[in-house]
Structure formats: structure tokens, C-alpha cells
Amino acid sequence: MRNNLFKKTLLVLFPLILSFSITPKIFAETIKIGQSLPLTGEMEKSAQEFQKGSLSWINYINSRGGINGKQIELITKDDKGNSETALKITENFILDDILVLYGYLGYDSAMKSYELSKKNKLAFFGAATGSTELHEFSEPNAFFTRPDYGRETASMVDLLIENKKNKISFFYSDSNWAESFYKGAKWSFEEKNLKIFSSASVQTKNPDFKFAAKKINSGFPDAVIIASEAEIAALFIKELRKLNPSIIIMAASEVDGSKLSGLLMNQGIGVIVSQVVPFPFQTRYQITNLYKRLSSRFYPEETASFKGFEGFISARALTTILSDCEEPITREGFIKKAHEMPSVNLGGFVFDFKENKATGSVKTYFTQIGPGGFLSPIISLKDVYKYSPL
């Protein structure tokens, strides 16, 4: 008798129990943010900088009571730079009580994980990639605080043609992100009714730098834009400068200017590196000063970095949207609110995702490698050091 009653009760309650198990815990005490990063492997330094930059802001917000009394929990998993591992991590995040996928690093990991987030209508926020495919052709659940490769290239070209340097060549490696950058570059050149003067690509394994340098230098271009890993870019630059010491050299932000300058030192004097955030050591922006202050507070052993600053800005943009969301905060509610908000100035860095656009900021900044391998900000080509062979 009791067993029959128990079974009948269970049958009545089971649908209710199941509904609770598959519904996000909107009354949870924490807001869970999922992040997949290559914390070990070739990109570990950049990943760790991005993570600590993000946490510098998140820790600060939590110390002040969080968002509407809820603490933010950034759950970071190590994908070791493997896109399939990142995909599995993302699958687990989607099944778990994760509100937003945040701050992925690496073109391949971002591309695959984004597709999964799109199917599940989960916000994919602040990934550190300029993939034109994601920025231009993504669904409304994608949000980036940096410009895409095409817009970054357009800014580089603008800097050159302002000084009547319109014979612009392009060098890139065969990695997926570099090829994506090249596609974005061709798009930006076409938008300006320009053609790439010459181009050369090398394999990441056994690259032929001498052949690439000769191909690029044929016809004597005014400038060359580089999209490749820092080690490849450094060796190519050395070969090219043997042939043409006066050519203007510009490297994309993902080349990693800090790493490139360390590899080249004085051989890199005058190499221009684009950036997707302001110079992190300047005091002219309120957000820069805040980043430096909070970074030294929570990670005193760390020095300011471009990738750390990018993480800080992305985290601050994320929490700005979260703080404006209506309670209870849901996955759908976050996406809706992000697209409804007007332009937001974070103290020198402006973003907005109005009209369902994915790219929150299109501004590109520029630095150059100076004596001793130190990066410094520039505004025009007039600020660039003249390179002289030793």
C-alpha cells in the first residue's frame, strides 16, 4: 500500500523534479562564467596574462559585493591549445549552470566553440580573436571587444596611405588565424579600392624566409604587413631588412609585439605593431590607470601587458552588461541586454553592440619597437624610428 502510494507520488513529482534539473539556477548565489584557455603550451604566457587581467577586474567587483549581491565565478579550464579539448570543455560548460562563455584564446578553439554556443543560444563574449568569419557572419550571441582582422588591417593601411605609401605587400604563415587575417586584409583593401602589391606565405614547419623576402621585395613595395607567429615574423624581418633596410614593416596584433620585440631587440627598431587596446603603460586613459592599479593589487608579481589589458577590458565590459540586466539574470536576458545598451565609455575605451553587431570596438592602436627592444606608442609614421643596419 505504502509502496503504491510512493510510486504514485513519484510519478506526479518527476516532471517537476526534471524541470528543476534542466533549468538554469537563476537564484544561485554566484554568476558562473566559463572560460577555456591554453594555460599550458605555446600560448600559455598570453593566456595567463589574459586570465589575470580578467580576474583583476572580477576580483575587484566581487570585493565590492559582486553584481546585485551575487559573486562572479570565473571558471577557467586548460585546453592546452587544442581546439578539440576546448570543444569538450565548452560542451561541459553548456550542460552546467554557465551563464556566459567568456574570453577564449586561439583562433581554432574560438571557431569551434562558437559554433556550439550558437546552437545552444549561449553568449560567446570577449574571445581574443579578430576572425573576420566570426565578427562579420556570426549570430547575435557573439560579442567582441576588439576589432576584426579586416578593420585592423584597414587602420594599418590608413596609417600608410596618409603618408602616400600605397604599395603595400603582405606576408603570412599557413596557420589558420594568419590565413584568416589575410582574407580580412584582402577585404579591407577591396573596400579602399586597393590591391595588395605582392604577397608571400610560408609554412610554419620549414619556412623558406629567403624566398619569401625576395618575393615580397620584388618591385620594391613601400611597406609590408605581417601576420604570422612571432618567431616566424622575426626571422622574416631579418631577411627582408638585408634586402631593403628602408621598407616600412607592420606586424598584426596577434603576432605578439612583446614577444617579437624580445626576439628582435635592436634589429627590430622601427617595426610597427598594431594593438587592439590602448598602450597599457600610458596615463592618459582612466581605464589604463585603473588596470595598472588593480593588476598590481591582485597580482603584484605581474607587469602590465597588452593581453592582460585586453582581458581587463573584456571583463569590465562583461560586468557592465551584467549589472544592467534585469533579475533574474538568464542566458537570453544577457544577450538581449547587450544589444539594447547604448554606447558605453569605460574611461577611455568605448564599446557598443547595438543593432545586433558583434564587434563592440573597431579602434586600432599602434606601437613601435624602439632601442633595446622596448615598445612605445606612436600616432603617425613621423613618430617611427629610422632603422639603420649595424
CATH number for the domain that contains residue 257: 3.40.50.2300
Mean pLDDT, the chain cut into blocks of 10 residues (390 residues total): 43 40 52 97 95 98 96 97 97 95 95 94 96 88 96 96 95 95 94 94 93 95 97 97 97 96 97 97 92 97 96 98 95 96 96 93 96 95 91
Residue 380 contacts residue 288 (beta carbons within 8 Å): no
Residue 273 contacts residue 251 (beta carbons within 8 Å): yes
Cell digits of residue 218: 620584388
Q: Are residues 246 and 377 in the same domain?
A: yes
Q: What's the pLDDT score for residue 28?
A: 59
Q: Are residues 139 and 193 in the same domain?
A: no
Measure the N-to-C terminal CA separation of the chain; round to a whole number of Å: 96
Q: Are residues 60 and 72 in the same domain?
A: yes
Q: Are residues 209 and 336 in the same domain?
A: no
The answer to whether position 108 is within a domain reads yes
177/169 Cα distance (integer angstroms): 18
Quote the number of domains for the chain: 2
Amino acid at 293: R
The answer to whether position 1 is within a domain reads no
Q: Are residues 172 and 234 in the same domain?
A: yes
227/173 Cα distance (integer angstroms): 7
Helix boundaries (H) for the chain: 2-22, 44-63, 83-95, 107-119, 132-137, 149-161, 176-191, 209-217, 230-243, 257-264, 286-298, 306-324, 331-340
The answer to whether position 13 is within a domain reads no
Q: Which residue has the cell 613595395?
A: 221
The answer to whether position 350 is within a domain reads yes
Q: What residues make up the domain containing 299?
A: 30-147+282-359
Nearest to 91 by CA among 135, 40, 24, 34: 34
The answer to whether position 12 is within a domain reads no
Q: Are residues 81 and 98 in the same domain?
A: yes
37/90 Cα distance (integer angstroms): 11
Q: Are residues 162 and 270 in the same domain?
A: yes
Q: What's the pLDDT score for residue 215?
A: 97
